[in-house]
């Protein structure tokens, strides 16, 4: 890593401990209340490629023991260098090797079943996929809304998401059915995260 490359990188959290804790709490809130977008407040100087909320979440979650795969747009940017410098994470070439996967908006998402899903004995040894989307709204009654059920949801939680990969609901049904194995997903816009833990089901999608 050259001095020039380092000088071009943005800073991490101004207070590493407090900044990480605040964003980590936002991630936990998103995963404990599936389908409810949570605002991610932070002061990190995130890369220009990829959503700010995604970068901040990974900055808080990654450490030197973590492996990270980046989709093509992110891999071609300085996002990997930024995260590796600030967290010590290991970048990998294949998504199935990663404990964390970050997919930029517009890039193809690796099929969920090809990612690390853990095992019945060690379900925690699975991947978390951070997926950038165009927009999401938990209050809108809109065609194409996802209807979420499961732990952390009182009855049904609608979530209208624009920018999901084609066939995502089918993939998610298979992922959910594999519980306790499976992938957890964080949907991200510029400033918000919404959690889709593997325990969450999407039984019905409103027809477009």
User: How many structural domains is the chain composed of?
Assistant: 1
Average pLDDT over residues 77-104: 97
Tokens of 56: 């901040």
Residue 144 pLDDT more than 80?
no
Q: What is the pTM of this model?
A: 0.92
Q: Is residue 97 part of a domain?
A: yes
Q: What is the CATH number of the domain that holds 118?
A: 3.40.50.11310
Per the structure, the complete domain to which residue 199 belongs is given by 10-205
3-state SS, residue 75: helix
- What DSSP assignment string belongs to 152-170? T-SS-EEEEEESPPTTHHH
Q: Is residue 5 part of a domain?
A: no
Instruction: Quote the pLDDT of residue 139.
Output: 67
Provide the b/e sequence for 15-54 (b: ≥16 CB within 10 Å).
eeeebbebbeebbebbbebbbbbbebebebebbebbbbbb
Radius of gyration of the chain (CA): 16
Q: Is residue 3 part of a domain?
A: no
Instruction: Quote the pLDDT of residue 145.
Output: 83
Q: Is residue 187 part of a domain?
A: yes
| Lowest-confidence segment of 59-63, 100-104, 204-208 by average pLDDT | 204-208
Average pLDDT over residues 152-158: 91
Q: Is residue 4 part of a domain?
A: no
- What DSSP assignment string belongs to 174-199? HHHHTTTS--EEEEE-SSEEEEE-TT
Q: Is residue 2 part of a domain?
A: no
Instruction: Quote the pLDDT of residue 138.
Output: 81
Q: Is residue 1 part of a domain?
A: no
- Cα–Cα dist 18/14, whole Å: 9
Q: Is residue 142 part of a domain?
A: yes
205: confidence class by pLDDT, cuts 50, 70, 90: very low
């Amino acid at each position: 890593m050259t001095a020039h490359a380092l000088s071009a990188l943005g800073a991490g959290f101004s207070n590493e401990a407090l900044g990480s804790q605040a964003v980590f709490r936002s991630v936990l809130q998103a995963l404990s209340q599936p389908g409810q977008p949570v605002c991610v407040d932070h002061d990190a100087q995130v890369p220009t490629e990829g959503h700010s909320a995604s970068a901040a979440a990974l900055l808080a979650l990654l450490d030197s023991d973590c492996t990270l795969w980046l989709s093509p747009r992110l891999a071609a940017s300085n996002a990997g260098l930024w995260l590796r410098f600030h967290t010590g994470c290991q970048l990998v070439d294949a998504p199935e090797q990663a404990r964390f996967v970050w997919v930029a908006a517009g890039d193809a998402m690796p099929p969920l079943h090809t990612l690390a899903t853990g095992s019945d004995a060690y379900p925690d040894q699975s991947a978390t996929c951070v997926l950038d989307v165009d927009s999401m709204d938990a209050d809108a009654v809109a065609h194409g809304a996802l209807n979420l059920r499961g732990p952390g949801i009182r009855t049904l939680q609608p979530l209208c998401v624009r920018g999901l990969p084609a066939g995502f609901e089918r993939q998610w049904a298979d992922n959910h059915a594999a519980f306790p194995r499976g992938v957890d997903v964080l949907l991200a816009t510029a400033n918000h995260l919404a959690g889709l833990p593997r325990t969450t089901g999407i039984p019905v999608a409103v027809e477009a």
